[in-house]
Amino acid sequence: MLAGEHLQSDNRSGSSINKLSEVSVPALTAPCDTLQQLLAIQAERQPDGVALWWHGKATTYASMNNRVLALAARLAGTGAVGDRVAVLAWNCPEFIELIYAVPASGRVLVPLNARLAPAELAYQLQSAGVTTLFGDPELLQPLLGQQELAADMAVIDLGAGYQRWLESGPAVELPRTDPTDPVWILYTSGSTGRPKGAVLTHESFMAGLRSAALGRPVEATDKYLYPFPLFHVAAHNVLLQHQYGAAVVLVRSFDAATTLAACRELRVTTMSLAPTMIAMLLDHPDFSPADLQSVRTIGYGASAMPQTLLRRLLAETGVGLCQSYGMTELSGSAAFLTVADHRLAADTRAELLQSVGKPLPTVEIRLLDENGRLCEAGESGEILVKGRQCMKGYWNRPEDTARAIVDGWLHTGDIGRFDAEGYLYIVDRKKDMIISGGENVASREVEEVLRRHPAVRDCAVIGLPDQQWGESICVVLQLDAEASDGELSEHCRRFLAPYKTPRRWIRVASLPLNASGKIDKPALRRAHSIAG
């Protein structure tokens, strides 16, 4: 499909082929099939251009590319093609170097969630059969005592040991890489059980970058601030900037004061933030709308955006907003609610703020109900996605792969619906659907209603075991002001059927977040099932 084309929805098939209309496809500087190629192209085109800002220091494309080639050649001299190489670290330039160098060496990168417990990390290292582990010294220390770790796994700390390792062994010619070769094994959050390793290839990653460029175009002059962990699939946004010659402003982890300072001092033009991060920026005592004067676009995602927060951002700043729908298994995003969509929503179509946008021209999306029937507009069903950006499968989990990918369609586990114009709305995660008294209750729907109450800062709706109802609807609340259970129940009944009204209310000072910036519902279920 060419840029600017707009396909109409074929409701007879039930398969939505509504796409982003009037999309502007950025021109690639040169075609590339592998991750390392996109960096090498920029190193040739603009060797002195800034690829990375870190603590106020700039790294050029030529310098980064030379470093990546040296690391890749060193890795190629150890082990074998296809070996898994893990990284356990907070954001740092070395992590970005390894994102490029490991696949260039013919090895597969396994980014590890630095927030996991040592036993959880040991499971992923064992599951992936990791042969080499790079890590921050303080993160490695508690992990290395785990008995499950392979005795012959090489461990290199990203402090002084990193440079010593680079200089201590042979550098050999890099192997030939194929677009279908795996580049990442990225473990899912494990919210439906033990984490599974999604295998992403050069091809799926590059297709994911193509999709992202359609939803939020990149300009070569951009300075993009990245606050998410590099072990998250959101790291594809870093590669997206490099593909178009822009500069990445990297921070170790999100901090409101640091982010505001970077916007002021480096004149950041774009960034990605979770809704909780946006709230922290706006609530910071030193925040001024002038801090975001240089920012053209903020892409948000990772969790539902409270409508009051979104409208507040639109009212207080001139920043353009976009959001996307995606996941690890999609190598990024498959649908976008564009900046133009947000402007339309602010003017006359407020309901669009609840949508994740339209499918990108690079994918097909359809919805299936519980009986496997294709859904019409307005009906809810599981979201299925087909496209080159879909993962290859789950590492060493053929049965899980067969369940997730059927006839080329990835079953996402999300419940969604299309409106008549082809905008996609996320109703809930399958796993977050609560069955109470035989009725299905979408936790997200209840959360959206509760967030409209002026006393509710944020909330999470979960189902807890109940002898009478099967599951009882429970709300874990973070409040800005006092509100009684009765007041909150009455508020819910104004907008929801009685069976959707929560029966249990738990107030907390803060809601737990996972590494993706999402509210950690599995942790809440564990804590309050025990407590209750």
List pLDDT tens digits, range 52-95: 999 999 999 999 999 999 999 999 999 999 999 999 999 999 99
Nearest to 170 by CA among 100, 98, 72, 97: 72
Answer positive or negative: Cα dihedral of 211, 214, 216, 217.
positive
Cα(486)–Cα(475) distance, rounded to whole angstroms? 13
Low-confidence ranges of the chain (pLDDT < 50): 1-18, 21-29, 191-192, 532
159 Cβ contact partners less than 8 Å away, ≥ 6 residues apart = 136, 137
| pLDDT tens by residue, 188-222 | 865 445 689 999 999 999 999 999 999 989 999 99
Query: Do 390 and 410 contact (CB within 8 A), yes or no?
Result: yes
With 0-12 / 13-18 / 19 or more C-beta atoms within 10 angstroms meaning exposed / middle / buried, residue 349 is middle
Which value, to the nearest 10 degrees, does the dihedral of the CA atoms of residues 215, 218, 224, 226 take? 40
pTM reported for the whole predicted model:
0.81
| Cα gap 45→38, rounded to integer Å | 11
User: pLDDT value at position 303?
Assistant: 59
Checking DSSP bridges between strand 393-394 and strand 197-201, what pairing results, if any? antiparallel
Tokens of 308: 């009051």
Kindly list the domain boundaries of the chain, sorted by start residue. 437-531
pLDDT given for residue 87 in this prediction: 98
Q: Where are the beta strands (DSSP E) in 202-240?
A: 223-226
Give the separation between CA 432 and CA 447, rounded to whole angstroms.
12
pLDDT digits (tens, 9 = 90+) for 396-414: 999 999 999 999 999 999 9
Amino acid at 492: C
Q: Which helix (H) or strand (E) holds 479?
A: strand 470-479
Q: How many CB atoms lie within 10 A of CB 478?
A: 15
Q: For position 113, what pLDDT does the model report? A: 87
Predicted local confidence at residue 305, as pLDDT: 66
User: How far is Cα 85 from Cα 284, in angstroms, rounded to an integer?
Assistant: 39
Whether the CB-CB separation of 237 and 243 falls below 8 Å is answered with: no
**Per DSSP, which regions of 216-347 are E strands?**
223-226, 247-250, 270-273, 297-300, 320-327, 332-337
Backbone angles phi, psi at 251, to 5 degrees: -120, 150
* C-alpha atoms less than 13 angstroms from C-alpha of 441 in its C-beta half-sphere: 30
Task: Decide yes or no: CATH 3.30.300.30 for domain 437-531.
Answer: yes
Reference 383, options 1, 15, 6, 7; nearest CA is: 15
| Distance in angstroms (rounded) separating the CA atoms of residues 306 and 347 | 18
